[in-house]
């Protein structure tokens, strides 16, 4: 149990285009989802926290107009990178937490974004 999926697993796009990444909790209801970005050989950096049905809370330095987060249901959150540029190329990882899992977060497999 407690499986989180992400789609797509990797995406290559041209500079200026927008990319949407989906994060789904497959067998539990995720009251809270988190989006992280990880650059090569670095740790996970939290971008934002989203609770179902409410606006996401962004970390300092993360542009909310560039990284649009939607958490419309208890099993789906989406991250849209708008007008992507090469510096947005990174590994994007989501995690989910249910109301019954306590403090444990379940991580997705990640999405590799490459912007040309």
Partner 1 sequence: GENVEQHPSTLSVQEGDSAVIKCTYSDSASNYFPWYKQELGKGPQLIIDIRSNVGEKKDQRIAVTLNKTAKHFSLHITETQPEDSAVYFCAALDSWGTDKLIFGTGTRLQVFP
Give the whole-angstrom CA distance, residue 70 versus residue 11.
Answer: 19
Give the whole-angstrom CA distance, residue 62 versus residue 41.
Answer: 20
* Choice between 7 and 82, CB closer to partner 1: 7
Among 29, 63, 85, 104, binds partner 1 (CB under 8 A): 104
Give the whole-angstrom CA distance, residue 101 versus residue 97.
Answer: 7
Q: How far is the CB of 65 from partner 1 (least distance, A)?
A: 22
Q: Give the interface with partner 1 as residue ranges (CB under 8 A).
A: 4, 6, 32, 34, 42-44, 46, 49, 57, 93, 97, 102-110, 112
């Amino acid at each position: 149990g407690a499986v989180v999926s992400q789609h797509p697993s990797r995406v290559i796009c041209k500079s200026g285009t927008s990319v949407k990444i989906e994060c789904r909790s497959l067998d539990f209801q995720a009251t809270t989802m988190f989006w992280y970005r990880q650059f090569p050989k670095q740790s996970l950096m939290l971008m934002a926290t989203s609770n179902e049905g409410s606006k996401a809370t962004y970390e300092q330095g993360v542009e909310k107009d560039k990284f649009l987060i939607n958490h419309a249901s208890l099993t789906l959150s989406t991250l849209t990178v708008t007008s992507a540029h090469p510096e947005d190329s990174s590994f994007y990882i989501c995690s989910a937490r249910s109301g019954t899992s306590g403090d444990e977060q379940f991580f997705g497999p990640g999405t590799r974004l490459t912007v040309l």
